[in-house]
Amino acid sequence: MSALPADPHLPAIHLRPPHNWINDPNGLVFHNGHYHVFFQYNPHGPQHSNVHWGHFRSPDLINWEPLPVALAPTPDGYDADGCYSGNAVSVDDRMVAFYSAHRNDRWWQPITTAESQDNGRTWAKRPQLLIPEPPAGTTMYRDPYVWRQADRWRMLVGSALDDGRAAALLYESTDLENWAYLGPFHTSDAAADTGPIGWECPQYATFGDRSALIVSDWTPKNGPSHTTVHTGREKDGRFAADSPPAPLDHGPDFYAPALLKAPGDDRWLLWAWAWEARDDAWAREAGWAGVLTLPREVSLTADGTVAQRPAREVLALRGARTLHRTGHVTQAEPVELGQVSPTFDLAAALVLDATGTTGLRLITSADGAEYLDIRLDPAAGHLTVDRSHASLDTRARGGSYTLPFPAMKRPGSPAELRVIVDRSIAEICLADEQVLTLRFYPLGEGPWRLQARTTGTLRSEFAVEAWDLDPAEALREPTLAGRGLAPTDCFPA
């Protein structure tokens, strides 16, 4: 992409095709020098149906090349109504994708595979299902996650049990072909007051002798809900949590994250689906829905908290520094910090006034009526992101959302923020640990500008820098022409 998209809300640096529907990231794998990111994709419209696997790859997490659609439903086949979520592994010279074979005439989604021996350009499905039937006692079954551990392969499958609990079911194999079912790896508590629950898209990451199980909560009544992380240790083939489940992301528009162990540096990377926060009719008019988050690095702190930050490679997307301000702000008057583009990366250090809230306002209309607020409240112990006034269009969702604000290590120490905004998505990271993702849809003709604000009776100090992000470096298509392909061969309009 050599120019910004015409749609003012279509993200410029976040992964997604130019048209149609996407949801869950799938099949994250590093193979033969490239990161591969697959995702649920409907090539025929901005609705969740006719699910394929779309495909991007990158040598560096910065320059992304669209490849042809990897998996498509086979008419009258075992996946006739959709190639649903799963993951992929690299084995010698081949990639093996594990996925959920969806048909409307059965409630479970059997596990099956497809292989590529040409670096993901073409895929061959196995003739028969890999795991055709769910275990007894389950009422939901889908979304395999496969990883190598010591001398064996392991697989988690998202599930719901007939007693109302959610579960991640465990299988093991020595050859990727023959799988033994070992029972529930971990389950939720009985959901007596909330009704039945299921877990989608289970993901598992190890950090020394500790580990994190990430699950996406789903209910029969409302469908996808939110994502939680359970931390603990494995014992005798079962996961034992040692702390209550916690939100992985504190925003309203984050679901179905997927993990990838980066080669060489022992990092865990994560992408997730950020769904639309606007009326379905608006998305249909726009011709697209859904976006993937930027890649994040995931780690485990000494106290067992799962921490996240934008992957270090994202720094390479920074272009010109457009804003650099230091100073202080009082209740009497906000401080104008300067203009930013609709796609920017911001770093801020705020020394807070303990008598009130301190934060930043992103103003997107000339008259100041349209804005997104980020406020830190040291007394309440949380950060709030308020999008109640972030769009002049009533079809956009509003609301305020909070994430925990850790106590300052010493009085007067700054709170550190990283904010990445890309047209209609904001990813807000507090102290390189807690993250909040949300969508918003500005209509104002701008220019966009930032203010520092406080409600306290004293004053707050600030240091703020912002950089334009360069979309020309995020997605590129030159190798497609070299193979005789047009962009529409990868992502049909």
Give me the residues paired with residue 54 across strands.
39
Q: Which residues contact 36 (CB under 8 A, 6 or more apart)?
A: 27, 28, 29, 30, 55, 56, 57, 88, 95, 120
Report d(CA 342, CA 423) in Å as an integer.
5
Report d(CA 18, CA 298) in Å as an integer.
28
Report d(CA 122, CA 25) in Å as an integer.
19
Q: Given a cut of 50, is residue 152 above it in pLDDT?
A: yes
CATH of span 319-473: 2.60.120.560
Q: Which residues of 411-425 are buried (b: 16+ CB within 10 A; e: fewer)?
A: eeebbebbbbbbbbb
How distant is the alpha carbon of residue 91 from its chain centre?
26
Report d(CA 436, CA 387) in Å as an integer.
12
Are 142 and 215 in contact by the 8 Å Cβ rule? The answer is no
Are 306 and 229 in contact by the 8 Å Cβ rule? The answer is yes
- Structure tokens of 444? 């104002």
Closest CA to 493 of 52, 43, 6, 68: 43
Report d(CA 65, CA 262) in Å as an integer.
19
Report d(CA 82, CA 80) in Å as an integer.
6
Residue 445: predicted pLDDT? 85
AA identity, residue 113? T
Q: Given a cut of 90, is residue 325 above it in pLDDT?
A: yes
Report d(CA 394, CA 73) in Å as an integer.
37
Helices (H), 291-348: none
- The mean per-residue pLDDT over the stretch 445-462 comes to 95
Chain segment 207-255, per-residue pLDDT in tens: 999 999 999 999 988 999 999 999 999 999 999 999 999 999 999 999 9
Report d(CA 218, CA 221) in Å as an integer.
9
pLDDT band at 265 (very low <50, low <70, confident <90, very high): confident
Q: Given a cut of 60, is residue 53 above it in pLDDT?
A: yes
- Does 172 or 265 have the greater pLDDT score? 172
Q: Given a cut of 70, is residue 191 above it in pLDDT?
A: no
Whole-structure pTM value: 0.95
- The mean per-residue pLDDT over the stretch 365-394 comes to 97
Closest CA to 310 of 363, 343, 346: 346
Torsion angle, alpha carbons of 374, 377, 381, 385, to 10 = -20
- Structure tokens of 97? 């994708």
Which residue ranges does the chain devote to CATH 2.115.10.20? 20-313
Report d(CA 241, CA 335) in Å as an integer.
46
pLDDT band at 432 (very low <50, low <70, confident <90, very high): confident
pLDDT band at 413 (very low <50, low <70, confident <90, very high): confident
Rounded-to-5 percentages of helix, strand, coil across the chain: 5, 55, 40
Closest CA to 168 of 251, 91, 245, 249: 245
Alpha-carbon distances of 56 from 35, 66, 88, 372, 427, rounded to whole Å = 8, 4, 14, 31, 21
Task: Give me the chain's average pLDDT, please.
Answer: 93
Report d(CA 421, CA 341) in Å as an integer.
9
Other C-beta atoms lying within 10 Å of the C-beta of residue 329: 22
Residue 412: predicted pLDDT? 78
* Three-class secondary structure of residue 312 per DSSP: helix
The CATH H-level (homologous superfamily) assignment of domain 20-313 is: Glycosyl hydrolase domain; family 43 (2.115.10.20)
Report d(CA 257, CA 64) in Å as an integer.
19
Chain segment 94-138, per-residue pLDDT in tens: 999 999 999 999 999 999 999 999 999 999 999 999 999 999 999
Report d(CA 462, CA 329) in Å as an integer.
8
* Three-class secondary structure of residue 241 per DSSP: strand
Which residue ranges does the chain devote to CATH 2.60.120.560? 319-473
Chain segment 273-300, per-residue pLDDT in tens: 999 999 999 999 999 999 999 999 999 9
How distant is the alpha carbon of residue 209 from its chain centre?
26
